[in-house]
Structure 1
Amino acid sequence: MAERHKLDWIQALRGIAALLVVLTHARRYLLDTEWRPFVEHYIMPAAQGVDLFFLVSGFIMVYTTRSADGSLRYASSFLIKRFARVWPVYAVAVLLWIAFLAATAQPIAPLADILRSLCFLPVSTHQPPYLGLPYAIGWTLNYEFYFYVIFGLSILFGSARWIAFSTWLGLTLVLAPWLAAGYVSLLASNDYHLGSALAGQLTNPMVWEFAAGVLIGLLYQSKLSIPRSMLSDALIVACIALIVATSWRTAPNWIHGPIRWGAPLMLMFAVMALTYKNAEPRVPRFLVWLGGLSYSLYLLHYIVFSVITQLFILAGQEKLTTTWPYAILIVPVPLLVAAVSRRYIEDGLAVNVRDRLLALHARVFALPARANRQVTTKEA
């Protein structure tokens, strides 16, 4: 199955999701112009690339853990790999952002907030789901890593892993809000006023999008499928048209969450998964390449934008930064930085961190086996 399914279409979705977020932030250069209504209505909805990321993450975690044996060794190895995948690049991004703020004499968040964010902990419940982090782009990583933790712990329940996973979601996303606030919301912008930043994160409906990705991943592994045909391709196109239509018809009232941007994305993703499980599409190599850069592109593009804009301001060309040519031409630049980051941080630093942690992990789990052999030898 692993050889037959390359999942290039998943990589393409990752790349598209990252590029959509980049376009969303490029629009800010036109917010102080007469084009503001246009970019807010037609470009701001590209932020739903985040919702697509969350769906893909849920799906991929199911796919990559299909051989999970329920052991502590497997679960801990899974968490180490996920930590090493996301933390090094994120830590570099946070440090680069702080360095940029310091170099431009802008306010820097308190050290406690910076350290909290580096531990994937929220800072505040102000304007959920964004969590008030020192490097605002990192809010998605809080939800991402939290999902990895509960997903990894559910592996320990073996054949009952999905029951354990579902139960935890029910407790945190349904029961806890109901008991504390008297209602349950599916709006990611909702604030239950729980008085705790962490509780606000754990109960935020954004988590449902990871759960939807998990469900679609399970459907992908099931016997259910949609035969690949012109009709199925037309259905996928119709789903994409629905996404565009709902985004532009209701913008800017719609935003992140399972019943806003997330709902039509879930439908499209489910149809793609059931269609492509037996007949994967040919994906342009550029999109596969873009998917490989998606994590670095997502995390670093905002820093790249900020640095370039600051250079224009220092050069006395600030007026150019509020034009369409600037907003368009600045978009490809983060791709170069992301390619460097992929080579030296993701495939370099992050892989090194992963390998070192896995080596330590192997030694820890080898100790009981070594001790048992010694006892057996003595008894013999």
Structure 2
Amino acid sequence: MKAHIDDIQILRAVAALAVLFFHAERELSAGGSDALAPLFVGLAWLGQAGVDIFFVISGFIMYFVHRGDFGRPGMMGRFLLRRLVRIVPTYWLLTTLTVAGLVLLPGLFNSRSVDWTWIGASYLFIPWQSPAGDISPPVGPGWTLNFEMYFYVIFGAVLLVPRRVALPVMTVFMVGSVMLGLILKPGLPILAMMSGALLIEFLCGIWIAWAFTRGMTVGGAARIALVAAGLAVLCVSPVFYSNGDLATWWRLPFFGLPAAALVAATILRPGLQGAERAGSPVSRLFVALGDSSYALYLSHIFTLRIIDLVLARLFPQLPLALDFVLLVVAAVVVGHLFFLWVERPLYRFLKQRLPGGRAAEVPA
């Protein structure tokens, strides 16, 4: 079934740009500051919510695209194979390039040492402590893919049950897992992920999709209230949330729930059901960025690091604002070209070789 809704792709573009702003500011932090520094710090802080928007969208897309597949024989295997084809090739390619860089150009990666167990775990989407001491794979943003892949396993398993009980089963399992995590506080990274509160963000997306498929809408004052509440919590979050571990359960109330509110306000607006591609140039631009958001999300770390090194050597006194804009523009351009020339051709090549010759219609 075709499920290409412009608002979803625009949200994906916003989420990818938010994450890009977060990491671009971190590249700037080593180059000094000026009067605009607080603005970039604020953008970086709010940019963290891009990950949470991605998680909510992922839950929405999985239920919306596969809502008719619950209880169908063989769907679990086909679903997981399609998700692997969508996620793995690009990530493995960039992981391999990173590993080569760690071996050949360690200075480009802050001299991070090579730990082959850590590298092997990253290929398998298993959270593992890096040589730097954090739970981050060689391709930094890949920590979110560990959560994504675990969510796919849960969703694939629930495809085995009839549709009428699928949502209650997923809800009970995911909420129960998070409650156990809060009680037991597992120290092993993989167990911490499997009981992490970020699972609730996927669940929020699933329930938004459930409401969407039943024609439910949020308009008028209720929609304004959702947007205002989401933005307000994001804006005040620095006052309450300063934990350096962004995957803790504290992320849910300060980033996850506001992200869910913003997604719900966007997706459930009256008149969205059945919407076609937007017509305005700005909308088309953001839809295109949404299409390439996965490529941008994974590749921007490389682009930022390389362009920042080049700019620092060629223009050591470059104003902070211009530096930021050049970094962002370069990352967007490289990410979109990577999507057009590498990710999409590779995905289409592999998709044609799947049983049935197709995969999930909406990239997630």
Band the TM-score falls in, shorter-chain normalisation = 0.7 to 0.9
Opposite residue 121 of structure 2, the aligned amino acid is R
The reply to whether residue 208 of structure 1 matches residue 204 of structure 2 is no
| Stretches of structure 1 lacking an aligned partner (at least 5 in a row) | 181-191, 227-231, 362-380
Q: Deviations over 1:42-71 (max 9, x none)?
A: 432122011100000000001110220423
Distance 1:94 1:319, change over 3 A: farther
- TM-score, normalised by the number of residues in structure 1: 0.79
Q: CA deviation at 1:317?
A: 4.3
Specify the SS of the correspondent of 1:149: helix
1:274 aligns with 2:268: yes
Q: Is 1:93 aligned to 2:80, yes or no?
A: no
2:329 is aligned to: 332
Native 8 Å contact 1:247 1:254 kept in 2: no
Counterpart-to-counterpart distance in 1, 2:344 and 2:97: 19
Letter in 1 for 2:190: L
How has the CA–CA distance of structure 1 residues 277 and 85 changed in structure 2, closer, same or farther, with 3 Å as cutoff?
same
> What does residue 61 of structure 2 align with?
60
Partner residue, 2:236? 249
Residue 295 of structure 2 is matched in structure 1 by: 296
Q: Structure 2: which 5+ runs fail to align?
A: 359-364
Alpha-carbon distance change, 244 to 161 in structure 1, aligned in 2, over 3 angstroms: closer
Aligned residue number for residue 135 of structure 1: 139
* Preserved contact between residue 20 and residue 46 of structure 1 (Cα < 8 Å): yes
AA in 2 matched with 1:172:
S
Residue in structure 1 matching 2:25, options 21, 24, 27? 27
> Aligned pair in 2 of structure 1 residues 38, 176: CA closer, same or farther (>3 Å)?
closer
In structure 2, how many angstroms separate the alpha carbons of the residues matched to 1:75 and 1:303? Answer: 35
More moved, 344-353 vs 296-305: 344-353
Q: Distance in 2 between matches of 1:302 and 1:212?
A: 28
In the TM superposition, what are the counterparts of 1:347-358 in structure 2 within 5 Å?
347-358=344-355
Q: Which amino acid aligns with 1:111?
A: W
Which secondary structure state, in structure 2, belongs to the residue aligned with residue 169 of structure 1? helix
Aligned match for 1:263, one of 257, 266, 273: 257
Matches within 5 A, 1:62-211: 62-101=63-102, 102-105=104-107, 106-124=111-129, 131-159=135-163, 160-175=165-180, 177-178=182-183, 180=184, 192=185, 194-211=186-203
AA at the equivalent of 2:20: V
Change over 3 Å in CA distance of 1:332–1:253 after alignment to 2: farther
Q: CA deviation at 1:295?
A: 0.4
Work out the CA distance in 1 between the residues paired with 2:210 and 2:304: 39
CA displacement at 1:339 relative to structure 2: 2.1
Q: Greater CA deviation, 97-106 or 285-294?
A: 97-106
Structure 1 residues 197-206 or 351-360, which shifts more? 351-360
Per-residue displacement from partner, 1:213-240 (whole Å, max 9, x unpaired)?
Answer: 01111111124334xxxxx366545544
State the one-letter code of the partner of 1:267.
A
SS across alignment from 1:71 = coil
Secondary structure in structure 1 of the residue aligned to 2:69: coil
1:54–1:233 distance in 2 versus 1, CA, 3 Å: same
**Deviation for aligned residue 1:91:** 1.0
Distance 1:311 1:104 in 2: 17
Instruction: Report the residue type matching 1:165 in the other structure.
Output: M
Q: Which amino acid letter does the alignment assign opposite residue 246 of structure 1?
A: V
Cα contact 1:123–1:132 (8 A) shared by 2: yes
Give 1:323 shift.
2.4
Q: How many angstroms apart in 2 are the aligned matches of 1:6 and 1:312?
A: 38
Q: Once the two structures are superposed, what CA deviation does each residue of 1:75-94 show, in whole Å capped at 9, x if it has no partner?
A: 21111111111111111221
Point out the structure with max Rg over C-alpha.
1
Aligned to 2:361: none
Among 8, 13, 16, the residue aligned to 1:15: 13
